[in-house]
């Protein structure tokens, strides 16, 4: 059983519970276009807002003919106003502090420009060697592009890494990239299942020790 040589994290639903923040952001755009808000009870559309990249979200919510205008308006919305709605997952900071001492860490998220500011706001920037967002690659998850870019930046082979995500998009991206996948708080037919960040630490340290650079 080979040791992992690095970890890639999804953001939403893994590092943070961010559904309130995401809905507030997309509903700001909905309001601008005179459309009704997306409510948490609308599970399919709310889940889309939580997992997909903005172009796909706007295509579904507003129609393909308004995607460009929606992206243009969204670029003027300061996401920092929604960050207070984000809640760090329990044990996440302690786990990152432990793992970052031994392994390179990355974020791969369908978010765009907001990711860097989120990490800075919560004091997490120093834990990650690289951050890959939908702005850095031609295709967002479920395509493998951002995971492969993260692996390249970490100077690791895909099979040496562990990707932790919480959605079907994450699972498909990991499979396409050839990266072992850990499902966080869900049953996705993953290579591993974890329900708490402390379990990530145990999973990593249980694999015959950690292979450092």
- Judged by DSSP in three states, 181 sits in strand
CA distance 184 to 155: 25
- The confidence score (pLDDT) of residue 1 equals 67
- The confidence score (pLDDT) of residue 26 equals 95
Percent of residues in the chain assigned helix, strand, coil, to nearest 5: 50, 10, 40
User: By CB neighbour count within 10 A (0-12 exposed, 13-18 middle, 19+ buried), where does 64 fall?
Assistant: exposed
- The confidence score (pLDDT) of residue 19 equals 92
- The confidence score (pLDDT) of residue 211 equals 45
Per-residue pLDDT of the chain (213 residues; tens, 9 = 90+): 688 999 999 999 999 999 999 999 999 999 999 999 999 999 999 999 988 889 999 999 999 999 999 999 999 999 999 999 999 999 999 999 999 999 999 999 999 889 999 999 999 999 999 999 999 999 999 999 999 999 999 999 999 999 999 999 999 999 999 999 999 998 888 999 999 999 999 999 987 544 444
CA distance 177 to 198: 26
Give buried/exposed letters for 70-95 (b at 16+ CB in 10 A, else e): beeebeeeebeebbebbeebeebbeb
- The confidence score (pLDDT) of residue 112 equals 86
**With contact defined as beta carbons under 8 Å apart, do 130 and 106 qualify?**
yes
- The conformation of residue 12, written as its DSSP 8-state character, comes to B
Q: What is the DSSP string of 37-99?
A: PPPTTSHHHHHHHHHS-HHHHHHHHH-GGGHHHHHHHHTTS-GGGGGGG-EEPTTHHHHHHHH
Instruction: Tally Cβ neighbours within 10 Å of residue 43.
Output: 9
- The confidence score (pLDDT) of residue 210 equals 47
Tokens read off for 47 = 């889940």
């Amino acid at each position: 059983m080979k040791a992992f040589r690095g970890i890639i994290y999804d953001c939403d639903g893994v590092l943070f519970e961010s559904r309130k923040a995401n809905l507030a952001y997309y509903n700001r755009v909905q309001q601008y276009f005179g459309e009704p808000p997306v409510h948490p009870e609308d599970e399919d559309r709310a889940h889309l807002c939580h997992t997909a990249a903005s172009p796909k979200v706007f295509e579904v919510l507003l129609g393909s003919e308004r995607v460009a205008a929606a992206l243009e308006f969204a670029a003027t919305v300061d996401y920092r106003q929604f960050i207070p709605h984000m809640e760090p997952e329990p044990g996440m900071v302690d786990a990152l502090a432990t793992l970052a001492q031994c392994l390179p860490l990355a974020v791969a998220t369908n978010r765009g420009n907001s990711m860097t500011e989120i990490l800075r706001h919560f004091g997490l920037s120093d834990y990650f060697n690289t951050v890959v967002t939908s702005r850095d690659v031609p295709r967002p998850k479920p395509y493998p592009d951002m995971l492969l870019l993260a692996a390249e930046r970490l100077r690791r082979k895909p099979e040496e890494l562990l990707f932790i995500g919480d959605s079907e998009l994450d699972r498909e991206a990991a499979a396409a990239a050839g990266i072992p996948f850990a499902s966080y708080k869900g049953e996705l037919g993953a290579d591993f299942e974890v329900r708490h960040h402390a379990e990530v630490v145990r999973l990593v340290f249980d694999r015959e020790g950690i292979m450092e650079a």
